[in-house]
Amino acid sequence: MTDPQTIISADHLIAGYLPGVDILNGCSMDVKDGELIGVIGPNGAGKSTFLKALFGLVPVREGKVQLRGEDITNLKADKLVQRGIGFVPQTENVFPTLSIEENLEMGAYQAPKTYKSQRAKMYDLFPVLGKRRNQQAGSLSGGERQMVAMARALMMDPSVLLLDEPSAGLSPDRQDETFVRTRDINRTGVTVIMVEQNARRCLQICDRGYVLDQGTSAYTATGQELLADPKVIELYLGTLGADKDDEDDADASAAPEATPEKSE
């Protein structure tokens, strides 16, 4: 835990939305500076909840989140943004009536001085956004929105980026593009924690994967090891998740759609 290379760590998090209902039951994770982490697991396992707990959007009841050894448990999102964490939610992750450029400006809201230079960087990284800078984000395609959302989260030059299913709902081509781009961003030194339904593709590009099931981090290994793990193959890769990621489940998740496949 005191590994000096650890940038962000979660220690036995217990968290949930409603009093008395724990969605995370002792979820732990240790991420080294510069790592690209993939988090996989069945629908309703608590992957989104885990990212939200890291980002202070779901109250953590027990356990600890640390950033470079400092306790950041339950800090408010705007404080975490200041400390260099960026978050891209799974759905509704752009401001639809704002233009692309205004979306990026909001990303740099706490650091207006760096806005112009960061914006230029983002237009380099996502040229299509530069070309359409005055277009309303609400009128963009799913893939373009995902770019806006990612660019917005990168405007503060975060050291840790949390991505919730960036490839959900995209065509296979766009999915590939998203994974490649995520790795590119990671190679510029940004630590990335990515939740994915597309387990195979995710494990192929990430340094290390975590398997989350029923609110606990069941196990972790390198992406390659997990890809070869018979249990993982059986549970998450065999059917390739049957592309059940088409539905946007983040907010409608009060519905009892949880855990279609149980482990063991």
Partner 1 sequence: MRNANHAGQKARHFPLRIALLSTLTVAAITVISAVPAQASQLATEVADTSGGTETNLLLQNLLNGITFGLLLALASVGLSLIYATTGLSNFAHGEQVTFGAAAAFAAVTAGAPLLLAAVIAVAAGGASGWLQDTVLWSQLRKRRIAPMQQMIVSIGLALAAVNLLQIWMGAQRVRLSTSIEVRYEFGPVSIGPQTMISMAVCIVALGAVGFFLQRTRLGRATRAVSDNPALASATGISVNRVIRIVWIMSGSLAALGGVLLALYENTSDFSAGARILLLMFAAVTLGGLGHPFGALVGSLVVGVVAEVSTVFLPTPDLKYAIVMGMLILTLLVRPQGLLGRKERVG
Q: Which of 204, 253, 261, 263 binds ligand ADP (CB under 6 A)?
A: 253
Contact in structure between 166 and 143 (CB atoms under 8 Å): no
Q: Least separation, in Å, of the C-beta of 40 and ligand ADP? A: 9
Contact in structure between 133 and 100 (CB atoms under 8 Å): yes
Task: Using the minimum distance from each CB to ligand ADP, give the nearer residue, 17 or 115.
Answer: 17
Kindly indicate which of the ranges 23-31, 41-49, 116-124, 155-163 contains the residues binding Mg ion, using the contact rule CB under 5 A.
Answer: 41-49
Choose among Mg ion, ligand ADP, partner 1, none what residue 253 binds, the Cβ cut-off being 5 to 8 Å by kind. ligand ADP
Helix (H, G, I), strand (E, B) or coil at 110: coil
Give 50: exposed, middle or buried? Use CB within 10 Å, 0-12, 13-18, 19+.
buried
What's the number of CA atoms in the CB half-sphere (13 Å) around residue 71?
Answer: 7
Kindly indicate which of the ranges 59-67, 70-78, 219-227, 252-260 contains the residues binding ligand ADP, using the contact rule CB under 6 A.
Answer: 252-260
Per CB under 8 A, residues contacting partner 1 are 55, 57, 76-78, 81-82, 87, 89, 92-98, 102, 105-107, 109-110, 112, 138, 152-153, 156, 248
Q: Phi/psi class of residue 21: alpha, beta or left (left: φ > 0; alpha: ψ in -120 to 50)? A: beta
- Rounded Cα distance, 177 and 96, in Å: 23
Contact residues for ligand ADP, defined by CB under 6 A? 17-18, 23, 41, 43-49, 249-250, 253-254, 258
